[in-house]
Every structure is written in C-alpha cells, then in structure tokens.
Chains A and B, each alone.
Chain A
Amino acid sequence: MSARPGGRVRLSGIGLVSAAGEDTAGTLASFRAGRRDPGPVTLFETPLACPVFETGLPQGSAAEGSRTLRLARRALVEALAEAGLDPRRDLQGPRVGVCLGTTVASQLNDLPFYTAFRADGRAPMEAVDRFLKGNLAEQLARELGAEGPCATIANACSSGADAIGTAWSWIRSGACDLAVAGGADEMNLVPLCGFHSLGVVSPEPCAPFDRDRRGLNLGEGAGILILEREEAAARRDAVSGLFVAGYGGACDAHHLTAPRPDGSGLESAVREALREAGAEPSDIAFVNAHGTATRDNDRVEGQALARLFGPDVRVLSTKGYVGHTLGAAGALEAGFTALALREGWVPASAGFRTPDPEIPLVPVTDITRIEGRMALSTSLAFGGVNAALVLERAP
C-alpha cells in the first residue's frame, strides 16, 4: 500500500435501521441467523403483490416530518452514541458537515395532495410545507446546529454511497473536521409503481446473483456514519478502529436505467476508490456488492468484479436481508461492510442458491470468516452512476 494524500478519515460511529434490525446489534443478529422476513406492503394501499422489506418504525405525527426523516433521525441517534458525541454539545458550528442521500424525500410526490390539487387546484398546502421543511441534510443540520458543509445528494440508488464519499472529500479537503454522512429512504408508492412498471420487481424474495433471480424487492431504512478527521478524532479519544479509506465515482454515459454492458463505469469507480485508498485489488478481503437481483445489474456487476478481483473474490449482497432501500442502500451497505470488518465475518448472501453461468463468481453461501483489513462496497444507479467505497479496519 502506498501513502495517501489528504489524511485519514475515521469512521467513529455507525447507525443502522432496516428490516434486518432497528440498530447494529439487531442487524448482526439477523445476519448471524440468516434471517430475513419480507412481507406485503403495510404502509399504504396497493394492489401490487410483491414482497417488501419494511422496518418496524411506527407511523409518526406530521410534526415529526417525513418517514424518511424519522428513519434518518433514528439511525443518527445510534451513530452519535457509538461515536461518543453529544448532539447538544459536540456538533454545533462551522466545522461539522451533514451530507445525506435520498431519493423519495427529494420529491414532492404526495399523492393525496396531488389528488386534491387535480380536483380543483385548492389542495391544502401542508404537504408542500412538509416538503419544503423536509430536505434531509438541511433539516438535520438545523436540528443539530451544524453550520459546516451541507448537501443532500440525489444520485438515485447510489445516493447514500455518494453522500459518504462527498463527506469524505470534505474532510480530506479541509472543509470540515466531522461529518454526519449517509442516506435514508422510506417505503413509498412512487418507486414501488415505478420499479413495477420497469418489470424489475420480483414476486418472491429476491435472490441476488442467482441464476433464477427475478428482480428486486424494495426496502426502507437509513444508514448514518460519523466521519472524522483522524487528528480531530484522536483529540477526543475516539476509539473506533474503522476508516473510510477511499471513494470513487464514475458515470456510464450509456443509458438512463441500464448499466453499461461492459461494466467499465463500475470498474473505473472501483479503481478510483482503490487508488484513493492506496490499495491493490489483492488488499480487498470481500466485496459487499450492489447486487439488486435484477438480471442486468447482477450480470454486469458480477462480471466487472470478477475482472477486477478474480473469480474467487468473496462477494455478497445484503439486499437479500433488507431489500433495495434506494437512497439509503449505499449508506446501509457501507455500514454493513464496516461492521463485517470489525466483526471479522460476513453473512451468507441471502437468497442465492444456483450459480449463473453468465456471472463468473459465486457469492458466499455461509457465514464466512475474513482476515483482511479492507473491503469494498459498490453502488450502481439510474443515470449510469457508479460509486465505490473502500472501508478499512485498523490492524
């Protein structure tokens, strides 16, 4: 490994909310047990029969903001606690940034509002107000008193990964010392109908990288990471042994919804992340792949990862446990990756049974011990966006 510019970025807190668990402990318990529990949509009425991964977050009051915002708040509480940060004391001022990814919360997609508007143009404006006050990063920055860099990333399904990468770039460029980074998205009617219309929603629990995979399951959740400039973390005795070591992004310039068939965009993003981390492909202990279980994504991603890391690379998709959580996915998966590095094992790639002859690698089918210190998390998205994060554990 070579020396890297810009200083190291410590990952001092992880907060996770998904169908796999309300926190990191619950998530690890689900992974250890190989437990997954998709079910029908309960949060709104739909005739679309497809399993989804909802969290147990109860319905909230309008004053609490959107469900996406509440998911993010819940993950934030856990991340701050693990980092040993007091939100009333430690996060104010211009050296604290907030960068969060989302898809649902960026749209004014309230169907009751729009139905009333269409009827006579006199719809109540509460939905508009909630939208205007619900920008994910702006709102959480306000609540925390953080006055540093602030961005909400809407890069479709790589939003969470790109938010972490953006916050990582802020810290490395000196824009802030600490950043709240991650992503959140709620189960919502618009993406459910939209992905259904694209013919990529599976009628059964998803099976990433499996020969007989039939598409994705939607999920909801939030992943929040606390990133700190290493020197700043050391000053307050933050003890986490985890780091975000590299980030790479690249676009396909190919198609709005389909990945570039040769996978070169993903390869470029991964190579950039490895370069930033000062790592070689052989340094990567495992890959937590995007692995949506759609025909196109898994074929292109699997082939690209096999080219980069060889066919024996340890790879898994955690979407079998939590579904595709859209703007939260890249953040949740970065959190899962960091947890696996810390714990020294990865869970089985849930849903996988039969190798696909078009995919020259086989995901892990059991809980698997890992020895290395670095791992990769990949994200692919609408718009031909590719993102890669390298996570690292201290020796």
Chain B
Amino acid sequence: MGLVVPRGRGVDALGRALEEGWRAPASVEAQGLPGGQTPVYRVPAEAMVDPRALRAARRADRLTRMAVLAAWDAAAEGGLTAEGAGARVGVIFATALGPHATTFAFLDGILDYGQAGVSPTQFSHAVHNAAAAYIALALGIRGPALTFTQFHFGFHEAVRMAGAWLAGGRCEAVLVGAAEECGTVQASIAARRLAPPADGRIRPFAFGRPAGTVPGEGAAFFLLTPDGGASDAARIEVAFGAESAAGIDAETGLLILDAGGLSSEEAAYADAAQAGVPVASYAPVFGGTLGLSAFHASAAALTLRRERSFATPVPDHAPERALRVETGGRPVREAVCLRLDCAGRAAALRLRCSRGR
C-alpha cells in the first residue's frame, strides 16, 4: 500500500502517526470567518516532492499529486514497475469531491479573464479522472481505469469492482485507492458547516453529539492481486448491509468505525460497537474526510502487518460495552472497517491476515 497523510508520506509515516497519537492540526486561511483561519489536517508540501514519481504529473494539482504518490508507493511495495504494468493492470480511483480546488481556480479564470480567457490546463485538470490518468501515465498502466465519485461508499464500490476484474481474469493486479484534498474554499465551507472543535480534536466516539470535525486530506492506494498471491499480504473483502461487520472475534478482531464528526447522524455507530469487541477510530489522525474508509483500511492493514494495535488517538466518550484498544502488541488477525451513510446503510471492509501468516 501507499499513503500520503497529514503526517507525511509512506507507511512509516502512518505508523509513526498511529504510535504518537493526536497532534494539533495546521491552520489555513478561511475566507469570511472571524480571525480568517480554520484548522485542517493538511498534507505538508514537503511530503509531495518526488521528481521521479511526479515526472508525468509535474503540472498537476495537489489532489492528483497525492494520488500519484500513494499509487506509486503501493505499486513499488507490491513489486509493480512502470516497465511491468501494461494491459493486465487496472486502476480504480475513488474521490468524493475530486479536484475541487482546480475547479474553483477555473471559476476564478472565468471571473477574472472572462469566458474566453480561461486556462485549458486548469479545465483538463478539473475532471475527476485526471488523477487516474496521471497514475496510468506514471506507471504505464494500459488496462481499464475507472473513477468513482460519491459521498459514502465510493471506495467500497471500487474494491468491489477490483474484485470482479480480478475474479473474472480481466486484470492480474488492480491499483485501488482514494484521495481527497482540502483547499481553502472547502476549508471555509467546512468551518461554517462542520463546526470544528475549538481545541482541534476530533472525537470520533461522540457519535452525533455536537462534537464537530476538522477536515482532512490525503491519499491511500492498495495494490490488489488475486487471493493466493504474495504470502505476506493481507486479504481484503467488502460487504454491504446491516450484517456486514458481524461476527468479529473478540480475541483477535478489531472494529474500526468511520465515525469522525462529518455527520450529525453518527449515533448508529454506537449500536455497531459490539459487546467485548475492541473498537477504534483514527479520524483524529487523518482528519474528517469523505475518504476516511480508505485511510482506515490502511490503518487496518498496518495493524495486521505489524501485529500491533493502535489506540484511538482521542478516545473521549468511548463506548462502554466495547473494548477500548491500547497501543501495543495485542495480536489482531482480522480488522473490520465499518462505514454508515446518513440513512444508516452499512458497508464494511474486512481485512484478514493471509494464510501464510
């Protein structure tokens, strides 16, 4: 897997962030707000410098650069090179808001220079599938490419589609990932709509109490191959419906909730916390983002890979009947990331150690 997160780029950056726990977010400019600033879990510019990986995407926007770097790292970790990709590798990208900062920059062009004076480069980069295109360019991928855009289960549908491509023999490997950015316009909208807490702490276990959230950004990609591939890989499955997170073993399982204060309707997560099953959420590390499912999948994969649990960075209001996870060597063989939409519909990503471990 490959990651670009507010604490930096790479699996080790995520590992350090999960070990360290909560850290205060950055402040960014926010128009129309008292003080003109709002907190955002923003990816630092220095995490997005890599002339080799970004050679094809050197003129691309932040969203694309985050996605390319995460996909590049996932491919490298999985042994996929630009020379070896070709027509049997696919890419599926999920994004809820897409390159919205570029869209707003394009609208700036209309307002500043008139309808006939806009930038063609900004226009072509404002399409949602620009990131997938640059990933294909960077890695020489000539197989199918899809971009899913929706607010709830986009990453889950991407994983489902990748599974169909692999099972049907269309692809030998699929790069699946998600990315979201938080530009200044979105930060301002979030500040008005999502009530960022004054202390900058996301409280994922508030479950609908008026806790608010702090927007975040980043990218997470996974190289998926057919089951039975690499012996040190984890297995990922996606399930939909009310029972999608059922049956987690209390001794060796972990339930990760996609709760993060993005919605005021997160009370159903409290019901999902199962008696005696360890529960966690890492929204305080990633920020409140519609791409949280993919980031949580990366945390789940790291938990399995390192055979090490990570505590919820801000555990306030932790559900009483569930088991609170401490950072340490507790063995986890299965991690289930649960996402609920505003209507209470559920989808889960279930990651397990492969047979070889």
Contact = CB atoms under 8 A, between A and B. Distances in A.
A251 B140 CA distance: 9
Given A170-B164, A254-B137, A193 B111 contact: no
A121 B137 contact: no
Contact of A256 (B116, B130, B240): B130
Nearest to A191: B123
Contact of A251 (B110, B143, B185): B143
A193 B97 contact: no
B130 A106 contact: no
A197 B120 contact: yes
A155 B114 contact: no
Interface in A180-199: 189-199
Interface in A127-174: 128, 132, 135, 137-138, 142, 147, 149-156, 162, 166, 169-170, 172-173
Interface residues of A, number: 73
B194 to A, nearest CB: 12
A249 to B, nearest CB: 4
Nearest to B90: A249
Interface string A190-231: 111111111100000000000000000000000000000000
B149 A135 contact: yes
A142 B150 CA distance: 13
A155 B128 CA distance: 7
Nearest to B164: A173
Given A109-B107, A114-B107, A128-B193, A47 B115 contact: yes
Contacts of B146: 153, 155, 162, 166, 249
A134 B161 CA distance: 23
B144 A249 contact: yes
A65 to B, nearest CB: 15
Contact of B31 (A48, A121, A194, A249): A121
Most buried by B among A115, A153, A162, A254: A153
A94 B106 CA distance: 40
A155 B189 contact: no
B133 A151 contact: no
A250 B144 contact: yes
Nearest to B95: A154
A251 B133 contact: yes
A272 interface: yes
A122 B32 contact: yes
Contacts of A108: 97, 100, 103
A135 B157 contact: no
Contacts of B137: 253-255, 384
Contacts of B100: 107-108
A6 B168 contact: yes
Given A117-B188, A128-B189, A194-B120, A154 B133 contact: no
B123 A118 contact: no
B129 A383 contact: yes
A198 B120 contact: yes
Nearest to B147: A154
A354 interface: no
Interface string A93-131: 010000000010011110100110110111001001000
A135 B150 contact: yes
A198 B123 contact: yes
Contacts of B103: 107-109, 190
A14 interface: no
Interface in B11-58: 30-33
Interface string B98-129: 10100110111111001110111001111111
12 contacts: A108-B97, A109-B107, A120-B31, A128-B193, A149-B157, A151-B157, A155-B145, A189-B115, A198-B123, A250-B142, A268-B87, A384-B137
Given A117-B185, A150-B150, A190-B123, 8 more contacts: A47-B115, A103-B128, A175-B160, A189-B115, A195-B123, A264-B142, A383-B147, A384-B137
